[in-house]
Amino acid sequence: MNFRVPFLDLQAINQRDGEKFQAVLDSVLKSGRVLLGPLVEQFEMEFASVVGVSDFVAVGSGLDAITLMLRALELPEKSGVIVPANSFVASALGVVLAGHVPVLADVCEEVPVLDPDRIEERANWARGEGIIVRAVLGVHLYGAVALWDRLSQVSDRNEWILLEDAAQAHGASWRGRRAGSLGYAAAFSFYPGKNLGALSDGGGVSTSNQELAHRIRRFRNYGSSRKYIHEVKGINSRLDELQAGLLSVKLSRLSDDNARRREIATRYVAGIRNRFVKLPSIEAETESSWHIFPLRVHLRQELQEHLSSNGIESLIHYPVPIHRQPCFSESSALSFPHSESWCATELSLPMSPVMTDEQVDGVIDAINAFRGL
């Protein structure tokens, strides 16, 4: 190949809306309102409508979204929250920052989401450690929706609150229902590289429980719902007007951008033929957002170097499971074989709504040429 295939061309993605972005900036400068103004309110209503919930509360980051979602539940201090061991570390950090305990559980062998058959045994283990599980955080990793019917059955049986980490699942769906509307509440991230990304950090919580939404709005603004009156000990986590306006612009493209991602994923699955590579499946009842297209390959470094030599950028999501992270050293003795296997073999291919068919074909050809197969 004589051309480059970036993993994610953010410059090209954002340049599509350069004039509209400038108009948003001019509007904010003219209004003089930079925090918790009409553009934030507009985006909150628009995103709630897309997700299919009554309320969406915009906050400063995806980590804050998880933290405030859990704080607003008002669970007993140091409650256990089931979290997959294979996820970005924010899934567990949000639990800790909310004053609770992440109870790690393994993911499925074939799909990188919580294994519903492993949750109850982890809850029993936690009880032996003096930790009572009261919630489950289903992470839609890479945009693949968690096994929601089975998670719901287990959670209902144990009277656990079922939540979503939808940070990578903007526009994904399960049986026609959008990610973000499946659980009691859901946390989103608008980090720049997400399917719906701001030009800075951002996040939010979707829910159809209006009281929960009210508590989160209060927490995000120093614990205040009236100026200078602070009912609870809150934090400062406010999406600014500029980012909200930019996200409204980009929200109008989300459906088409995700359709292009699905088209690329379908081309990858149909075209890649290499015995060293294991491809993700395309499930009938779920519609992934394809935030990440994850290969499984034991010769990961060799394949990554091969792709790089052909001008193709790839990344690893994520090389170290949560229980092996230094900040969670208290869990280092635990073993979660499927999570560890995913972390050791996952390789993410370029995935972007601005990829050309020529670039997609170039990726397929390069993988098929790996080791002459």
Tokens 């957002």 correspond to 289
How far apart, in whole angstroms, are the C-alpha atoms of residue 253 and residue 264? 17
pLDDT of residue 2: 59
Q: What structural domains and CATH numbers belong to the chain?
A: 12-251 (3.40.640.10), 254-372 (3.90.1150.10)
Find the angle CA(179)-CA(249)-CA(212) to the nearest 5 degrees. Answer: 40
6, 42, 97, 172 from 49: Cα distances, Å:
33, 11, 29, 14
**Three-state DSSP state, 217:** helix
Please report the DSSP string for 211-230 in residue order: HHHHHHHHHHBTTEEETTEE
* The two three-digit tokens of residue 357, written as one number: 């068919």
pLDDT of residue 3: 78
pLDDT of residue 66: 98
Q: Comparing C-alpha atoms, which of 352, 359, 173, 169 is closest to residue 271?
A: 359
How far apart, in whole angstroms, are the C-alpha atoms of residue 165 and residue 153? 18
- pLDDT tens digit sequence for 206-237: 999 999 999 999 999 999 999 999 999 999 99
- What is the gyration radius of the CA atoms in the chain, in angstroms? 21
pLDDT of residue 372: 74
- pLDDT tens digit sequence for 91-141: 999 999 999 999 999 999 999 999 999 999 999 999 999 999 999 999 999
Q: How confident is the model at residue 284 (pLDDT cuts 50, 70, 90)?
A: confident
Give me the count of residues in the chain: 373
- pLDDT tens digit sequence for 26-65: 999 999 999 999 999 999 999 999 999 999 999 999 999 9
Residue % of the chain over a pLDDT of 70 = 99
